[in-house]
Amino acid sequence: MTVKNVIFDVGGVLLEWNPVKLLTSMFDENLAEILKTNMMDSPHWADLDRGTISIDQAVALFSLKIPELTKEIRYVLTTMIDHLPVIQQNVNTLYELAKANYRLFVLSNFQREAFFEAYRKNEFFKLFEGLVISSHVKMIKPEKKIYELILSRYSLAPYETVFFDDSYENIKAANQMKITGIHTPSPAQLNDFYINELKRKKQYVL
């Protein structure tokens, strides 16, 4: 396989995504657990990622069982990017791939307003030739059509393309599309692939 294109997920790959850690950075553990149950564990969280409901609609839906926490729910949805640190080791690898002239892309399930804020705050997004964000295209991983979209939009050959994602379900869907999916729940997996595959094949020599 000759790798020419590298696709990155964002949450869990370039920015930390740990709902418990996120919420406990804002509130005490008890409140964090209540919010996680009623927000991140709700099916409406996927609707936000898909871009089919607004933040105002999500606040109303998440508040149905916990109306006394409406203020906190809105706070989470409007400020969470401030609480998602960069996964620096993976970002460093991203910069190395950019220097090596790989075509770089993003394929991520991400809420609309939150992604705009993440893009504004992080310079590394400028390294990407193209981005497919779920809430912008009204599709989410692991649906087949979102993989078809990124391949067709940027004329990517699946057999020349690698995809990094922290979700195994998303990786399985990529593999079914003949994209080489690499499960990266920790920075070590992405770095190991870069060293053992890309450098070993001398596609990039430091």
206 is a domain residue: no
Same domain, yes or no: 97 and 173: yes
Is there a single domain that holds both residue 126 and residue 144? yes
Closest by CA position to 103, among listed 49, 37, 160: 160
User: What is the rounded distance in angstroms from the CA atom of residue 67 to the CA atom of residue 82?
Assistant: 24
| 142 upstream amide cis, omega within 30 of 0 | yes
Say how many domains are in the chain.
Answer: 2
* Token pair recorded at residue 147: 């993989």
120 with 183, same domain: the answer is yes
Across the range 6-18, mean pLDDT stands at 96
The 10s digit of each residue's pLDDT in 117-170 is: 999 999 999 999 999 999 999 999 999 999 999 999 999 999 999 999 999 999
Given a cut of 50, is residue 204 above it in pLDDT? no
Q: Given pLDDT bands bounded at 50, 70 and 90, which one contains residue 61?
A: very high
Q: In this structure, are 75 and 94 located in the same domain? A: no
CA separation for the pair 134, 126 (Å, rounded)? 19
The pair of three-digit structure tokens given for residue 169, joined into one six-digit string: 């379900």
pTM of the model: 0.92
User: Does the residue 138 lie in any domain?
Assistant: yes
Mean per-residue pLDDT for 65-90?
97
Domain region containing 69: 19-83
Q: What is the pLDDT of residue 117?
A: 97
Find the radius of gyration of the CA atoms of the chain.
18
Q: Look at residue 204 and tell me if it is in a domain.
A: no
Would 75 be classed as within a structural domain? yes
Residue 102 confidence class, pLDDT cut points 50, 70, 90: very high
Among candidates 71, 81, 64, 68, which has minimal Cα distance to 25? 81
Residue 188 pLDDT > 90, yes or no?
A: no
What is the reported pLDDT for 203? Answer: 46
CATH number of domain containing 177: 3.40.50.1000
Same domain for 151 and 72: no
Segment 86-109 shows an average pLDDT of 94
